[in-house]
Structures are given as C-alpha cells and as structure tokens.
Amino acid sequence: MYMSYTSKLNYSIISTNNNGHQKMNTIIILEWYIITLLVGMLLAFIVYYKWNRRHLELLAAKLPGPETLPVFGNLFYFLGITNEDFIYKIAEVGQEYRKEAVVRYWLGPYLVIGIYKHEHLEATCCNPRVIDKSALFSFFQSRSKGAFTLSGEVWKRQRKTVNKMFLGNVMENYVKVFNEQSLMLVEHLKKKTGLGTFDVSHSLMRCTLEVICRTSLGVNMNLIEDNNVTFPEDVSRSSEIILERMYKPWLYPSFIFKMTKTGKEMFRHIDRIHQFTITVIKRRRQILKERKTMHKDTEENGFHNHGNKDEDKFEAAPYIDSFLDCDIEKNVDDHELALEALDVIIGGMDTSAVSDSYVLIMLGIYKNWQDKVHREIDELFGNSDRYVTVDDLGHLTNLEMVIKEVLRLYSAPHTLRLLTEDVKLDKFTLPAGAIIYLSFYLLHRDEDYWSNPHEFYPNHFLPENISSRPKHSFLPFSIGPRGCPGLRYGMASMKVLLTNILRKFKVECDLKFEEMKHKPGLMLELVGGYPIRLIPRQPFIYHDSCND
C-alpha cells in the first residue's frame, strides 16, 4: 500500500514537471517566434528602406565629404558644440572641400549637401523646381506659418500677398514712416548720451518693429519707449533655439523636444510672440471697423472724403488686410492669422535692426569710415531738419557701401532647400530627397571674389570692384523665387534710420573687429550684444575750400 501511494505521488510529480516543461518549452518557442518575426520585419523594413533610397545613397556615395559612421553619419561633428561654434565648424569643413565646392554630410538618415559657389547657388536658387524648404523648416511652424517657412501652393498664395507690399509707387509713403519713426528713435537715444556704453540693438529692434507694424499692419503701437514688450527678445531667442535644434537630430521628435528645458523655454517665447501679434491684429480689425462706420456715417450725411490720397493709399495696409479679408470668408481665428502674418513682421524687424546695429558698431570701430559717412550726410543735409527723401537715398554712396559690407559679413549665413528632383552641378549630380545647405557665409568670404574676405572693407563695393565680380557673388537677400521681395524696402529703411541717427550723433565702440564672436540666427548675430556710446554732434558745413 505504501509503495502504491509512493508510486502515485512520483507519477504526479513527474506529470506536473512534464506539464511545466511543456509549458516552458511552448513559451520559449513562442518567444523565439515573436523575436524571429520582429527581426524579420525589421530586416524587411531595412531592405525596403534601403531599396527605396538606393538612388539617393548611390549618388551620395559619389559626393565628397567627411568620413561617416554607420547609422549616425556625421553627427559626431556636432556633438558638444555650441550655437556659436556651429558656423565656424561648417566653414572649416567647407574650406577643407573648397576645390570640389560641394560637400556631403549625413545627419543620421538625412543627406545634407553644402554648396557655396555663386554658379551653384544661382543654379539652385533660380531653379523654379527647387523652391521647397527642407522639412527641418517645420521647426519654425510652431512660431509662424508664412511665406518664409511654407512650401507648395500655400507658399505661392502667401508670397503673392507679401508681394503686394512692394507693388507700385509706395516707397515715398514708406520713407515718410521711416523718417517719423527714426526721428522718434533719435529723441529716445538722446536720453542715453552721457550714460556710457549701451546695447543699441534693444532700441533699434523696437523702432524697426514699430515701422513694420505701421507699414505692413497699419497699426501704430508706440513701442520705442515700451520696455514691457518682449517681442524682439522672444524672436531672437526662439530663432536661436530652432536653428540649434536643426543640427541635433535627437531633438527632432516633438514629444522629446517639448520635454527638454530648452523646448519649454522656446514655447514660452513663442506664446508671448503670438500674444503680441494677436494684439496687433485686433487693433487693426478695430481700426477698420471704426473706419467703416465713419465712412457709412459720412455717406449717410451726404459728405465725401477728400483726404490725403497718399495717406489713404498707405493706410490701406494691403498685407494684413488681405488676411483679414480671408478671415471674413473662411472664418480664420486670430491665432491662425498671427501665424501667417509673423514671417513678414519678424523678417522686417530682425534683419533691419541687426544690420543697423552692425553698421553703428563698425562706424564706431572704423572712424575713417564714420568721417566719410558724416561728411556726405552733412554735405547733403547741412544743418537742416528736413526729412530724408527717396532722391536723397541715391546720394548716400559711402553709407550704402558700409551697409553692403555689413550685409556681406553678417546677413543670413545660410538656408535650406529640399530637392524634389535630381540637379546637375558640374560633375556632380545631387539626388532628389537631399537637403541643400546654401552657405551664403562661405560665398561672402570666398577669396576668389573678395580681395579682403575676412576684413571689414567697404571698398569691396566701389563700382570698379563690383563690376569685376560675378553677378551673384553677393546674395544678402538671396535670389530666385524664394528671394526676399523687400530688398528696396530694406535698404531704404536702413539708410533713412542710420542717416537720421548719424545727423545727430558720433559713435564710439570699444570692440575689436578681430575679437568679435558670432552665432547664427536669422542673421549672423554678434555674441554679447551691440555695445556703443553716442556723442551729440553738430553738422560741419563743408565749403569748396575744404573739398579734397
């Protein structure tokens, strides 16, 4: 009996163990099956991915460029570098491949091809089939969705709207606004004389923002004395963060970026940018509503408006009003309108203010050029207080040379395009799907075109030197379908503002050109700000006996 019980117990234990082993074996088999399936799916995806990219990778292998690592490509080039280091790193690699004038990078799975020779930039920028911005520009779209960031049909529609700002004979009306705002700026700057060194960009940003609010949005915001408006600082810092994100692919996924300290900071800046822009839009909407009511009351009382036609034409503000018309038709909310309008606001404010700041810095360092500019201004205006006119702009030749030299050195250092088809550049074929890195920074420092490429040398823009260079060796406003439509507007605004400042002040700056450090933003920004001192002056009236 005991033996029988023991036998049954052993059998039960053996049976249980066998069942356990069978279950364990089943689980192991299932796990291996799942792993094999996942590995097979991964391999199938890689084969499919590589097969679809075979044309891209085949042509990329024929392009010159630095050594790459599997999967990571050339990411190690940018690990640990600051935003300030980035532009110099790109320049270093560009110089290394100077003979080929084309250089290939892999940023993870993204093929980026850098070009900077004038003929290559012309062939790319002027190609009507190469107008799409890289997918990396989507990083800007949380801030704005206008003509700067978008592609396709939406871009074409918005570009037509932007172009309306610069059609017809409107420059005289714009110049009037440039004068009014710059003279208000001069009164503001008078308070800073005798107080030592200050960052002039703070005041210039508010002035140029006020100008763009009046000329493109039809609204007077009275910003020059308003320190509560942080829009300029928010734009500058958010641009810096967005551009830094572009060469850090580990920050590409939005859910990762939003969790980072930098991502949270960027969205705080963007929220304030949107709030300001919505305020401007609401103010313009109210102006139009009041004007419509006034016009209706006038007609009902039998009166007609015979006001200043030029002022009426200017106040039409075709840019923002075109968006407001769409708002009525499509019921677009203020936030969407803000996203669409912001590219013009930011472009008109940032580029002009940074350029003006650099001009004052350079004139403070290079006193010989400040003397030349002061002399031509004094000869043109004497001790009069009259406005700068459109005709005056053509006589400010020394000032124009200084502005252009600043733009050569510090305009937008680069931009990106997406190739939707193969493009032939000399002996190289750039494949569809590649991102083209257009380096204006290297173009404007190419010793083949510039006698003093790394110096501040306004004589680069003497007529004889201009004629000796290729046509598209100077591209501060880019060219082609994506070129900036506001070239005349931008140059005129800078000339008027700087002329009115320099009529009243001398400029001093303690910086040394060779020690200045820069970082990429929408322009090539000066690290540490734009420190100058202003000294009140009276114009010197030159007589014939004083002439050289």
Q: Do 336 and 389 belong to one domain? A: yes
Domain finish residue from 452, 475, 498:
475
Mean per-residue pLDDT of the chain: 85
Quote the DSSP letter at residue 76: G
**When comparing pLDDT for 118 and 43, which is higher?**
118
Domain finish residue from 448, 475, 502:
475
Q: Beginning with the edge strand found earlier in the chain, give each strand of the sheet holding 531-536 in spatial order.
A: 198-199, 531-536, 505-508
Question: Residue 302 above 70 pLDDT?
Answer: no
Q: Is residue 320 part of a domain?
A: yes
Which CATH number do you get for residue 279? 1.10.630.10
Q: Is residue 480 part of a domain?
A: no
Q: Is residue 3 part of a domain?
A: no
Q: Is residue 333 part of a domain?
A: yes
Q: Do 408 and 418 belong to one domain? A: no
Is residue 355 within 8 A of residue 407, CB to CB? The reply is yes
What confidence category does residue 328 fall into, taking pLDDT thresholds of 50, 70 and 90? low
* Backbone φ and ψ of 233, nearest 5°: -65, -35
What confidence category does residue 309 fall into, taking pLDDT thresholds of 50, 70 and 90? very low
**Amino acid occupying residue 484:** C
Q: Is residue 321 part of a domain?
A: yes
Report pLDDT for 184. Answer: 96
Least-confidence region, from 126-130, 328-332, 495-499: 328-332
Q: Is residue 451 part of a domain?
A: yes
Is residue 116 within 8 A of residue 94, CB to CB? The reply is yes
pTM of the predicted model, to two decimals? 0.86
Report pLDDT for 228. Answer: 86
**When comparing pLDDT for 402 and 314, which is higher?**
402
Q: Do 246 and 119 belong to one domain? A: no
**When comparing pLDDT for 204 and 98, which is higher?**
204
Is residue 93 within 8 A of residue 414, CB to CB? The reply is no
Backbone conformation region of residue 516, classed left if phi is above 0, alpha if psi is from -120 to 50, else beta: beta
* Cα–Cα distance measured from residue 136 to residue 87, given in angstroms and rounded to the nearest whole number: 17
Q: How far is residue 64 CA from its own chain's centroid? A: 28
* Cα–Cα distance measured from residue 133 to residue 154, given in angstroms and rounded to the nearest whole number: 12
Is residue 57 within 8 A of residue 50, CB to CB? The reply is yes
Report pLDDT for 310. Answer: 41
Q: Is residue 527 part of a domain?
A: yes
Report pLDDT for 325. Answer: 64
Q: Is 329 exposed, middle or buried (0-12, 13-18, 19+ CB in 10 A)?
A: exposed
* Cα–Cα distance measured from residue 303 to residue 106, given in angstroms and rounded to the nearest whole number: 69
* Cα–Cα distance measured from residue 533 to residue 375, given in angstroms and rounded to the nearest whole number: 20
Residue 56 three-state SS: helix
* Backbone φ and ψ of 535, nearest 5°: -120, 120
Report pLDDT for 303. Answer: 44
**When comparing pLDDT for 111 and 292, which is higher?**
111
* Cα–Cα distance measured from residue 493 to residue 163, given in angstroms and rounded to the nearest whole number: 17
CA atoms lying within 13 Å on the CB side of residue 489: 26
In order of 129, 249, 414, the CA distances from 104 in angstroms are 21, 17, 16
Note the pLDDT tens digit of each residue in 393-444: 999 999 999 999 999 999 999 888 889 899 998 889 999 999 999 999 999 9
Least-confidence region, from 77-81, 140-144, 255-259: 77-81
Q: Do 195 and 307 belong to one domain? A: yes
Least-confidence region, from 16-30, 260-274, 293-307, 377-391: 293-307
Backbone conformation region of residue 71, classed left if phi is above 0, alpha if psi is from -120 to 50, else beta: left
Least-confidence region, from 241-250, 300-309, 402-411, 524-533: 300-309
Written as six digits, the tokens of 292 are 């419509």
Highest mean pLDDT among 166-175, 332-341, 516-525: 516-525
Q: Is residue 32 part of a domain?
A: no
Percent of the chain whose predicted confidence (pLDDT) is above 90:
46
Q: How many domains does the chain have?
A: 2
β-pairing verdict for 110-115 and 435-439: parallel
Highest mean pLDDT among 30-34, 94-98, 324-328: 94-98
Backbone conformation region of residue 302, classed left if phi is above 0, alpha if psi is from -120 to 50, else beta: left
Count of Cβ atoms closer than 10 Å to residue 426 Cβ: 12
Domain finish residue from 475, 498, 518:
475
**Residues 317-323, mean pLDDT to the nearest whole number:** 63
**Residues 334-339, mean pLDDT to the nearest whole number:** 84
**Residues 434-455, mean pLDDT to the nearest whole number:** 94
Domain that holds residue 372: 146-412+486-546
**Residues 492-512, mean pLDDT to the nearest whole number:** 96
Q: Do 327 and 279 belong to one domain? A: yes
Report pLDDT for 88. Answer: 85
Q: Do 490 and 520 belong to one domain? A: yes
Question: Residue 211 above 90 pLDDT?
Answer: yes
Q: Do 112 and 198 belong to one domain? A: no
Report pLDDT for 311. Answer: 40
Which CATH number do you get for residue 114? 3.30.43.20
Q: Do 311 and 451 belong to one domain? A: no
What confidence category does residue 4 fall into, taking pLDDT thresholds of 50, 70 and 90? low
Q: Do 335 and 214 belong to one domain? A: yes
Question: Residue 19 above 80 pLDDT?
Answer: no
Q: Do 118 and 229 belong to one domain? A: no
Note the pLDDT tens digit of each residue in 70-129: 878 888 877 778 878 888 888 888 888 888 889 999 888 889 999 999 999 988 888 887
Q: Do 176 and 305 belong to one domain? A: yes
What confidence category does residue 20 fall into, taking pLDDT thresholds of 50, 70 and 90? low
Q: Do 324 and 376 belong to one domain? A: yes
